[in-house]
């Protein structure tokens, strides 16, 4: 099958997932791999991924998806606060909302991705101002839990997602 893997990644987490997807696509023809400025005209299946920026995909990935028509699309993403399935499910719906009619979303995958240290420092400063702030405490916990992600298990699940999308 002719495959495109297009992704938006600022700090490398989503790129790591894209790499795992690429490895799972061995034996298929990869016609595009990289940021969302690819020509995917020849692709029969487009893997499209983004990091989560303020609750949704990046503007550049949304703009790319809006150029597609008649494509089978497998959507993937990483998120810093993705430690509950319900949160991932909400993000999936937002991501799907950027896919124009006339395309088909065949599959979706999300995993957690570590955040830059500057984010933790911002929370720490907020907590210093207001030590009882439960919300900031929870954000700090989420930050620390995300530090090891994407991990081996996430990348194996990404490969599994790719193999399933290829078999559909
Ligand atoms: C400016 C900014 C905004 C973010 N907004 C969110 C968000 O709304 N929800 C979330 O779960 N993670 C958020 N994150 C965390 C990133 O989505 C997460 O770390 C992701 O794995 C980064 O992927 P990348 O390494 O491919 O850029 C944000 C990170 C930054 C730097």
The number of residues making up the chain comes to 168
Please give the number of the atom of ligand 1 that sits closest to the Cα of 16. Answer: 26
Domain spans of the chain, in order of start:
2-113+149-167, 115-148
Question: Mean per-residue pLDDT for 129-137?
Answer: 94
Cα–ligand 1 centroid distance for 29 (angstroms):
30
* pLDDT surpasses 80 at 124: yes
How many whole angstroms separate alpha carbon 88 and alpha carbon 80? 11
Convert the pLDDT of each residue in 44-102 to its tens digit. 999 999 999 999 999 999 999 999 999 999 999 999 987 688 999 999 999 999 999 99
Q: What is the pLDDT of residue 6?
A: 98
DSSP letter for each residue of 56-113: B--HHHHHHHTT--S-EEEEEEEETT--SHHHHHHHHHHHHTTSPTTSEEEEEEEEE-
How many whole angstroms separate alpha carbon 57 and alpha carbon 110? 12
Q: Does 3.40.50.360 match the CATH number of domain 2-113+149-167?
A: yes
**Considering only CA atoms, which residue is closest to atom 27 of ligand 1?**
10
- Residue 22: count of CB within 10 angstroms of its CB: 17
**Considering only CA atoms, which residue is closest to atom 9 of ligand 1?**
55
Q: What is the pLDDT of residue 27?
A: 95
Sign (positive or negative) of CA dihedral 60, 65, 68, 72: positive
């Amino acid at each position: 099958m002719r495959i495109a893997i297009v992704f938006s990644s600022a700090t490398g987490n989503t790129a790591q997932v894209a790499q795992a997807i690429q490895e799972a696509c061995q034996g298929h023809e990869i016609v595009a791999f990289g940021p969302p400025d690819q020509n995917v005209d020849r692709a029969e299946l487009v893997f499209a991924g983004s990091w989560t920026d303020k609750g949704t995909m990046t503007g550049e990935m949304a703009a790319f998806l809006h150029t597609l028509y008649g494509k089978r699309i497998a959507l993937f993403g990483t998120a810093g606060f993705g430690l509950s399935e319900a949160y991932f499910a909400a993000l999936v719906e937002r991501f799907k909302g950027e896919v124009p009619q006339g395309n088909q979303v065949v599959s979706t995958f999300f995993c957690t991705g570590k955040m830059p240290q500057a984010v933790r420092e911002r929370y720490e400063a907020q907590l210093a101002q207001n030590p009882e702030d439960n919300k900031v405490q929870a954000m700090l916990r989420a930050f620390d839990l995300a530090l090891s992600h994407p991990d081996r298990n996430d990348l194996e699940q990404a490969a599994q997602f790719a193999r399933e999308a290829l078999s559909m």
